[in-house]
């Protein structure tokens, strides 16, 4: 499962399922939001993985990298002259999951746009209970203005780790997922038909209670001094 934020001639984001055959071929099915228009597309292409974990996806420019356990990958697009994008993927159902696997505190970073005219970045913490109910506290920078954002919601996890259908109304099931033995979450907030020009992706890592307390203190200091 993967999420991508893309800026080219248009503004877009997508989430998809990429299936690798282990023999340098893959298939991909992805749902896009391009300038507020939703579509689902599928295609096939080739790839190659090197001994050091770097790999080439021949559908795009640039080289991606796998983690040592082969469960997480990142893919930039630095050599394309007409766009830039960042893709993050996690292996689907590396074990059986449930909503209770979200319980705890997560350090989360996000980036997005509003109709291609306003851009924002977020960093902060999400805390889940065993039923998938969460609260969040984010530092947000939008177009040079810093604010603090808080809120609540609920994610419901399927056995394969996906929770996209509870991320936003109308989102595909693969628009959100937990993986890497329950230590990484990715989710894409770009598929709400009532707000089609909003695109935003998030990546989160599980943190210890001690680490989150210390980092939250730093976050609060940054918010209070406007730095």
CATH class of 99-225: mainly beta
Token pair 């907030």 is found at 189
Higher pLDDT, 16 or 216: 16
pTM of the model as a whole: 0.86
Please name which of 6, 38, 42 lies closest in space to residue 192, comparing C-alpha atoms.
38
pLDDT reading at 225 higher than 60: no
For residue range 99-137, list pLDDT tens digits in order: 999 999 999 999 999 998 999 999 999 999 999 999 999
> What's the mean pLDDT in 152-161?
97
List, in sequence order, every residue forming a beta bridge with 105; answer none if it has no partner: 127, 207
Angle made by CA atoms 92, 178, 24, in degrees to the nearest 5: 25
For residue range 72-87, list pLDDT tens digits in order: 988 876 666 666 777 8
Question: What is the pLDDT, as a whole number, of residue 227?
Answer: 38
Separation CA 198–CA 35 (nearest Å):
9
pLDDT reading at 8 higher than 70: no
Question: What is the pLDDT, as a whole number, of residue 56?
Answer: 82
Domain range annotation of the chain: 2-90, 99-225
3-state secondary structure of 34: strand
Signed CA dihedral, 192, 197, 203, 209: sign only: negative
3-state secondary structure of 174: helix
pLDDT reading at 4 higher than 60: no
Separation CA 41–CA 74 (nearest Å):
21
pLDDT reading at 221 higher than 50: no
């Amino acid at each position: 499962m993967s999420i991508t934020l893309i800026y080219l001639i248009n503004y877009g984001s997508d989430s998809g399922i990429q299936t690798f055959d282990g023999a340098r071929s893959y298939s991909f099915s992805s749902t896009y939001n391009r300038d507020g228009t939703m579509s689902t597309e599928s295609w096939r292409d080739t790839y190659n993985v090197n001994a050091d974990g770097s790999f080439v996806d021949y559908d795009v420019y640039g080289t991606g990298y796998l983690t040592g356990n082969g469960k997480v990958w990142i893919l930039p697009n630095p050599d394309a002259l007409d766009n830039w994008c960042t893709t993050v993927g996690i292996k689907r159902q590396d074990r059986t999951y449930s909503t209770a696997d979200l319980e705890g505190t997560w350090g989360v970073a996000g980036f997005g746009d509003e109709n291609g005219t306003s851009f924002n970045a977020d960093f902060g913490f999400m805390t889940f209970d065993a039923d998938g109910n969460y609260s969040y506290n984010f530092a947000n920078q939008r177009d040079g203005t810093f604010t603090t954002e808080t809120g609540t919601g609920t994610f419901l996890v399927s056995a394969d780790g996906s929770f996209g259908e509870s991320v936003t109304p109308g989102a595909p099931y693969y628009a959100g997922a937990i993986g890497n033995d329950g230590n990484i979450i990715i989710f894409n907030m770009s598929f709400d038909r009532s707000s089609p020009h909003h695109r935003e992706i998030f990546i989160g890592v599980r943190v210890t209670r001690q680490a989150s307390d210390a980092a939250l203190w730093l976050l609060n200091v940054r918010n209070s001094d406007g730095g």
